[in-house]
Amino acid sequence: MTVETTTTTKAVHQGYIEPHAGTARWSEDGRLTVWSSGQGYFAVRDAVAALLARKARQAVKIAMPRIDVFEGTGPASGTQITIKLGATEDGRLTAASAHMVYEAGGFPGSSVMGGARCVFSPYDISHCLIEGYDVVVNRPKTAAYRAPGTPAAAMAMETALDELAEKLGMDPLELRAKNTAREGPRRISGANGFYPTPASTTDSWASAGRSGGRNCSPGH
């Protein structure tokens, strides 16, 4: 039994609630202090503000106008992902392939690698093929957006699983539980299974379903 499905997502900007900004100040003993709105503050060094602050001998703040934030800081990649799954009649996944196309903006650097690591990682599948393409397009650069590359990849795989479950006439949760990766087996990315494994989630989900906590039938 095989299914093949293609999902697409549009580029989505993170919509930060504050603009990109940084303030730099030199103290009398030569120490530089930088206040930044960035997430990874140890990696952020606002060199321009720091140089201007040294020249001005006072604190300097640089902030991007809102329009520059949207045009210059990079949205998440738009994607087109095709998933093909093969399974036995009792729902055991035997093979899977993913053709993953991610927009990179004006120069290479999309989050396709994150998507490739994610797409099949929750499942134990013996034979897999992943093709990932980092496509340069005439748009602003792309940037990280919460688990870079993985939401689109996970949605594509889960959509394909739902279609497979419907084609098999099988409960979609039962299909997932039967194929969930457990601790130990090596994943296609090369890493060994980790704990807590995806099985921990599906086992809890199945318990909730059996107790009436969730309708697990297709379409719900």
CB 53 within 8 A of CB 33: no
Q: Dump pLDDT digits (tens) for 123-180.
A: 989 899 999 999 999 988 888 888 899 999 999 999 999 999 999 999 999 999 999 8
**C-alpha–C-alpha distance, residues 179 and 125, integer Å:** 7
Q: Dump pLDDT digits (tens) for 19-48.
A: 888 899 999 999 999 888 876 655 566 888
Q: Is residue 216 included in any domain, yes or no?
A: no
| Residues 184 and 130 both lie in one domain | yes
Strands (E) located in 10-105: 21-26, 32-36, 60-63, 79-87, 93-105
Provide CB contacts within 8 A for 109, sequence distance 6+.
Answer: 134, 141, 142
CB 87 within 8 A of CB 124: no
Q: How many domains, in total, are found in the chain?
A: 2
| Residues 82 and 34 both lie in one domain | no
| Residues 94 and 169 both lie in one domain | yes
Cβ count within 10 A of residue 74: 22
Q: Is residue 219 included in any domain, yes or no?
A: no
Q: What is the CATH number of the domain that holds 159?
A: 3.30.365.10
**C-alpha–C-alpha distance, residues 94 and 1, integer Å:** 10
| Residues 172 and 205 both lie in one domain | yes
| Residues 183 and 81 both lie in one domain | yes
Q: Is residue 219 very low, low, confident or very high in pLDDT (cuts 50, 70, 90)? A: very low
**C-alpha–C-alpha distance, residues 180 and 142, integer Å:** 32
Q: Is residue 220 included in any domain, yes or no?
A: no
| Residues 27 and 79 both lie in one domain | no
Q: Is residue 216 very low, low, confident or very high in pLDDT (cuts 50, 70, 90)? A: very low
Q: Is residue 16 included in any domain, yes or no?
A: no
Cβ count within 10 A of residue 5: 17
Let me know if 89 is exposed, middle or buried by CB neighbors in 10 A (0-12, 13-18, 19+).
exposed
Q: Is residue 126 included in any domain, yes or no?
A: yes
What range defines the domain where residue 173 resides?
2-11+75-210
| Residues 59 and 83 both lie in one domain | no
Measure the N-to-C terminal CA separation of the chain; round to a whole number of Å: 23
| Residues 38 and 100 both lie in one domain | no
| Residues 34 and 98 both lie in one domain | no
Stated pTM of the model = 0.80
Q: Dump pLDDT digits (tens) for 70-113.
A: 888 888 899 999 999 999 999 999 999 999 999 998 889 999 99
**C-alpha–C-alpha distance, residues 44 and 34, integer Å:** 9
| Residues 145 and 44 both lie in one domain | no
Q: Is residue 70 included in any domain, yes or no?
A: no
| Residues 87 and 154 both lie in one domain | yes
Q: Is residue 192 included in any domain, yes or no?
A: yes
Residue that the structure tokens 């999309």 belong to: 110
| Residues 134 and 188 both lie in one domain | yes
Q: Is residue 168 included in any domain, yes or no?
A: yes
